[in-house]
C-alpha cells in the first residue's frame, strides 16, 4: 500500500494522472467510479483534460460502486444521476458504457448477481476510484461486512445516513435506509485501487486503513491484502498516521519513472 500525503489539488492531479496513463495505454480500460465528495476534484480534473488535452473515454467502460435502494429514477441524489452529472456527461463515454447496480430492481438478488457478471464479462475493473466513510466503510460496506462479500443489499448505519444527510437537505429521514453495494471481494478484484480522503474527519479511518489490524469492524482494512493500492490523503486526513514521516520521505524519494 502506497500512502501519499499532499495538498488536495495535487491529490486530484495524481489520481487523474493514473487514470490518464491507463486510458492512453489502454483506451478500452474499465474504470470503477465512486460517489461522495472525495473524488469530485478528480472528476473535475478528468473533465478538464478531456476538454483541453483530448483525453478520451470513448472506448472505455465504467462501473459504479453502489446505489441507494428506492430513490426515484429522476432523484438528483440517486448515484446513477450523481455520476452522470459529475463525470459521465462531462466526458465522451459511449451510451451505456457506465453501469451501476439497479436500486429500483424488483428482484434485488438477481440484479446484484447480474451486476457481478457484467463486471466479469467486461474483463474486470482496471482502476477503481474509492473514498472512505468516517467509520471505515468503502462503497457501502459498513462495519461488520464480510471481507469476502460480493454485490448485495446492505442496511446503512445511522452514522453513514447522518454523514450523507447533507446531500438530502440536512434531513437524515430523507436518506434511504438501504443500498446495493459492490462487496469487499468485488472491490478487491479490481487491479488498482486509488483511495482519496481529505479532512480531519477521515483521520481515524485512514489510520485504521493503513496501519490498523485487518478487521470487518474497519472494512477498508481489507485493502491491506491488495497488491496495488494507492492511498491519497491530505495533511488533515493523515494526522493520525503513525508512519506519516516515512510515507512523506518515501514519496519524496520516489523514482520519477515509477508512477502510482
145 binds ligand GLP (CB under 6 A): no
Nearest to ligand GLP of 111, 131 (CB atom): 131
Among 100, 101, 131, 183, binds ligand GLP (CB under 6 A): 131
Least distance to ligand GLP from the beta carbon of 160, Å?
5
Among 18, 30, 35, 64, binds ligand GLP (CB under 6 A): 35
Nearest to ligand GLP of 79, 247 (CB atom): 79
Among 81, 128, 141, 160, binds ligand GLP (CB under 6 A): 160
Strands across the sheet with 127-130, in order?
A: 2-5, 229-233, 192-197, 127-130, 30-33, 61-64, 98-99
Among 43, 140, 218, 247, binds ligand GLP (CB under 6 A): 140
36 binds ligand GLP (CB under 6 A): yes
To the query of whether residue 135 is one of the catalytic residues in this protein, the response is yes
Going by the DSSP 8-state scheme, the letter that residue 93 receives in this structure is: P
219 binds ligand GLP (CB under 6 A): no
38 binds ligand GLP (CB under 6 A): yes
Residue nearest to ligand GLP (CB): 131
The string of DSSP letters for 148-180 reads: T--SEEEEPPHHHHHHHGGGGTT-GGGS-SEEE
- Helical H segments across the chain, by residue range: 8-25, 40-53, 79-86, 108-121, 158-164, 184-188, 203-211, 244-252
For cell 493514473, what's the residue? 18
**Residue of 204, 106, 109, 121 whose CA lies nearest to 150:** 109
**Residue of 158, 124, 126, 160 whose CA lies nearest to 140:** 160
Q: Would strands 66-68 and 178-181 be described as parallel, antiparallel, or unpaired?
A: antiparallel
Among 14, 60, 132, 175, binds ligand GLP (CB under 6 A): 132
Nearest to ligand GLP of 55, 150 (CB atom): 150
Within 59-78, the residues that bind ligand GLP by CB under 6 A are: 65-66
Through-space distance between the first and last CA atoms of the chain, rounded to whole angstroms: 10
Among residues 102, 142, 163, 234, the one annotated as catalytic is 142
**Which residues of this chain interact with ligand GLP, rule CB under 6 A?**
34-38, 65-66, 131-133, 139-140, 160, 164
Please give the positions annotated as active site.
Answer: 66, 135, 137, 142
Amino acid at each position: 500500500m502506497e500512502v501519499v500525503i499532499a495538498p488536495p489539488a495535487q491529490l486530484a492531479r495524481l489520481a487523474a494522472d493514473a487514470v490518464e496513463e491507463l486510458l492512453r495505454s489502454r483506451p478500452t480500460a474499465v474504470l470503477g467510479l465512486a460517489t461522495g465528495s472525495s473524488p469530485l476534484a478528480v472528476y473535475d480534473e478528468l473533465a478538464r483534460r478531456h476538454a483541453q488535452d483530448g483525453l478520451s473515454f470513448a472506448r472505455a467502460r465504467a462501473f459504479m460502486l453502489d446505489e441507494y435502494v428506492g430513490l426515484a429514477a429522476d432523484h438528483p441524489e440517486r448515484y446513477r444521476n450523481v455520476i452522470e452529472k459529475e463525470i459521465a456527461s462531462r466526458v465522451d463515454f459511449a451510451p451505456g458504457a457506465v453501469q451501476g447496480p439497479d436500486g429500483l430492481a424488483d428482484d434485488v438478488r438477481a440484479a446484484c448477481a447480474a451486476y457481478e457478471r457484467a463486471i466479469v464479462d467486461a474483463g474486470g475493473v482496471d482502476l477503481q476510484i474509492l473514498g472512505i466513510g468516517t467509520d471505515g466503510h468503502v462503497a457501502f460496506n459498513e462495519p461488520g461486512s464480510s471481507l469476502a462479500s460480493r454485490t448485495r443489499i446492505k442496511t446503512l448505519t445511522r452514522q453513514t445516513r447522518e454523514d450523507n444527510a447533507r446531500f438530502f437537505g440536512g434531513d437524515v429521514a430523507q436518506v434511504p435506509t438501504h443500498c446495493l453495494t459492490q462487496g469487499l471481494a468485488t472491490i478487491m478484484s479490481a487491479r488498482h485501487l486509488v483511495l482519496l480522503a481529505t479532512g480531519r474527519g477521515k483521520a481515524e479511518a485512514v489510520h485504521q486503513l493503513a496501519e490498523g489490524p485487518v478487521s470487518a469492524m474497519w472494512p477498508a482494512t481489507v485493502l491491506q491484502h491488495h497488491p496495488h493500492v494507492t492511498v491519497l490523503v491530505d495533511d488533515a486526513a493523515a494526522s493520525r498516521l503513525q508512519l506519516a514521516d516515512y510515507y512523506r520521505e518515501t514519496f519524496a524519494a520516489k523514482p520519477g519513472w515509477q508512477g502510482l
